[in-house]
């Protein structure tokens, strides 16, 4: 019999982490994070990272493995995830992969990683300059014309990644490999709710982050040397603060931008997740039933 693995993904604020933790407690599991922001140490409140108490109760992997000034990509994630999966199954535990970074989930399910082309520096510089002249949205639209799936995975303002995806689309295809889950029995669930409910949860969650000290967290990172051009600082909940601290936006505007950007991200999340084969979309309650049926 194949070892079993559960993937829990879905929209921001849909309850993925709580469901994963609950499942791990009941079924002797360990959690592998598929979140591109939670890999960074110190990015705790804005990434909705599970607290240390929960991490002590249920073992979490691929959290706090990078400093804020380092980069992390889908290829590294796949390598780290594969190694972690082996270790968890050797301990006779249930691996539960949870996170909303669609590109990570697609790489796991479809068996591919970004790559397949060398650097074309002139090409990159041309589009970086084009973004300065015509705006980030213009360059993102160029990517969207070529590959809407890749465009859905990246925010227009993450211009370095947008340009990299354009480069891949132009000069080389995705480097395809077997899925690291090919020898597992997989249940992959995407938790979704109606738009109004999700938006209410997003607004409430951002307000809670502010109350928990998000402003102070970002300020501390900046004091340690975090810059707005770093990969970690491109994350929603962090990038919006730079214009606040340099006096361009007030606090209310900053908070509203975080909420707005998170809502926009949810739309892109859903669009991208729908491109992944093998994922079942369901409510939180239905997900619990499906997990129980899969494991029992």
3-class state of residue 5 by DSSP: strand
Residues 106 and 214 reside in one and the same domain: yes
Q: What is the dihedral of CA 220, 224, 228, 231, to 10 degrees?
A: -100
The closest alpha carbon to 271, from 151, 167, 184, 138, belongs to 151
Residues 76 and 204 reside in one and the same domain: yes
The closest alpha carbon to 34, from 85, 91, 105, belongs to 105
**Whole-prediction pTM:** 0.83
Q: Which uninterrupted H or E stretch holds 97?
A: strand 94-98
CATH of the domain at 146: 1.10.20.140
The token duo for 12 is 């921001």
Sequence-distant (≥ 6) Cβ neighbours of residue 91 within 8 angstroms: 30
Which of residues 171, 205, 240 is at a domain's end? Answer: 171
Which of residues 171, 187, 213 is at a domain's end? Answer: 171
Task: Give residue 152's domain range.
Answer: 121-171
Residues 137 and 239 reside in one and the same domain: no
Q: pLDDT of the chain along its 296 residues, tens only?
A: 789 999 999 998 899 999 999 999 999 999 999 999 999 999 999 999 999 999 999 999 999 999 999 988 888 899 999 999 999 999 999 999 999 998 899 889 887 655 555 667 888 889 999 999 999 999 999 988 887 767 777 788 889 888 888 887 777 655 556 788 989 999 999 999 888 999 999 999 999 999 999 999 999 999 999 999 898 998 999 999 999 999 999 999 999 999 999 999 998 888 889 888 899 999 999 999 999 999 99
Residues 260 and 181 reside in one and the same domain: yes
Domain count, the chain: 2
The closest alpha carbon to 170, from 146, 152, 140, 148, belongs to 146
First-to-last alpha carbon distance for the chain, in angstroms, is: 14
């Amino acid at each position: 019999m194949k070892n079993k693995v559960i993937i829990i993904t879905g929209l921001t604020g849909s309850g993925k982490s709580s469901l994963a933790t609950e499942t791990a407690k009941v079924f002797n599991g360990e959690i592998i994070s598929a979140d591109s922001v939670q890999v960074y140490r110190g990015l705790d409140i804005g990434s909705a990272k599970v607290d240390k108490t929960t991490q002590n109760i249920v073992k979490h992997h691929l959290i706090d493995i990078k400093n804020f000034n380092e980069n992390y990509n889908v290829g590294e994630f796949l390598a780290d995830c594969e190694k972690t999966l082996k270790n968890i199954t050797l301990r006779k535990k249930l691996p539960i992969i949870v996170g909303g970074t669609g590109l990570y989930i697609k790489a796991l399910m479809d068996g591919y990683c970004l790559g397949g082309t060398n650097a074309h520096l002139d090409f990159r510089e041309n589009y970086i300059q084009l973004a300065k002249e015509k705006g980030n949205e213009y360059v993102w639209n160029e990517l969207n014309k070529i590959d809407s799936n890749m465009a859905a995975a990246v925010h227009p303002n993450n211009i370095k990644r947008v340009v990299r995806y354009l480069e891949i689309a132009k000069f080389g295809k995705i480097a395809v490999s077997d899925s690291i889950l090919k020898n597992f029995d997989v249940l992959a669930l995407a938790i979704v709710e109606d738009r109004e409910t999700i938006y209410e949860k997003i607004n409430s969650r951002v307000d809670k982050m502010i109350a928990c000290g998000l402003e102070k967290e970002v300020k501390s990172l900046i004091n340690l040397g975090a810059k707005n051009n770093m990969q970690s600082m491109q994350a929603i909940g962090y990038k919006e603060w730079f214009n606040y601290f340099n006096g361009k936006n007030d606090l209310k505007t900053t908070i509203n931008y975080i909420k707005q950007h998170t809502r926009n991200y949810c739309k892109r999340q859903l669009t991208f997740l729908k491109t992944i084969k093998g994922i079942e979309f369901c409510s939180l309650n239905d997900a619990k039933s499906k997990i129980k049926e899969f494991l029992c």
